[in-house]
């Protein structure tokens, strides 16, 4: 089990889905930072589950396990610096379909920015069939 994030002590949180219609029920959105990885997957009743993980190897494998438990097949992540590379390699080795999203595209998203909101938007934008 991954350790609790010091930046975001809430390990898993159901957040209401607001805005656009969710397109892909088997996709995850990931916002990767230097100290924390925010992961968003679809939840029940038009919610999204947001969970924070650390950046250690055990955390990366915990993310893959969590995705497997929730029938996630496609993972989109923001390509911030080089922080995305280890997670991308771990997930790709475990047969997840990994996609990189330009950080420039997220700057156009309206409203206040946060790692949680970025992960939710990335998950929202994932089309079916990816």
pLDDT of residue 7: 46
Closest CA to 73 of 20, 128, 125: 128
Residue 9 CB neighbours (<10 A): 8
- Whole-Å CA distances, 73 to 26, 33, 63: 6, 22, 12
Query: What are the phi and psi torsion angles at 16 (to 5°)?
Result: -65, 140
Closest CA to 122 of 6, 5, 19: 19
pLDDT of residue 126: 65
pLDDT of residue 6: 47
pLDDT of residue 11: 45
Residue-range domains of the chain with CATH: 12-124 (3.30.420.140)
pLDDT of residue 111: 58
Going residue by residue through the chain, which has 130 residues, state the pLDDT in tens, using 9 for 90 and above.
444 444 444 445 555 555 555 567 889 999 998 889 999 998 877 788 899 999 999 999 999 999 999 999 999 998 778 899 999 999 999 999 999 887 666 566 555 567 777 787 788 776 555 4
pLDDT of residue 45: 74
């Amino acid at each position: 089990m991954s350790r609790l994030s010091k930046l975001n002590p809430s390990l898993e949180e159901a957040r209401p889905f607001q805005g656009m219609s969710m397109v892909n029920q088997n996709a995850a959105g990931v916002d990767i930072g230097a100290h924390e990885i925010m992961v968003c997957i679809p939840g029940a009743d038009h919610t999204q589950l947001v969970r924070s993980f650390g950046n250690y190897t055990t955390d990366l494998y915990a993310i893959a396990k969590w995705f497997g438990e929730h029938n996630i097949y496609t993972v989109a992540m923001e390509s911030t610096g080089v922080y995305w590379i280890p997670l991308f390699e771990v997930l790709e080795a475990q047969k997840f379909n990994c996609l990189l999203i330009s950080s420039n595209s997220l700057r156009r998203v309206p409203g206040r920015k946060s790692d949680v909101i970025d992960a939710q938007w990335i998950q929202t934008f994932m089309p079916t069939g990816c």
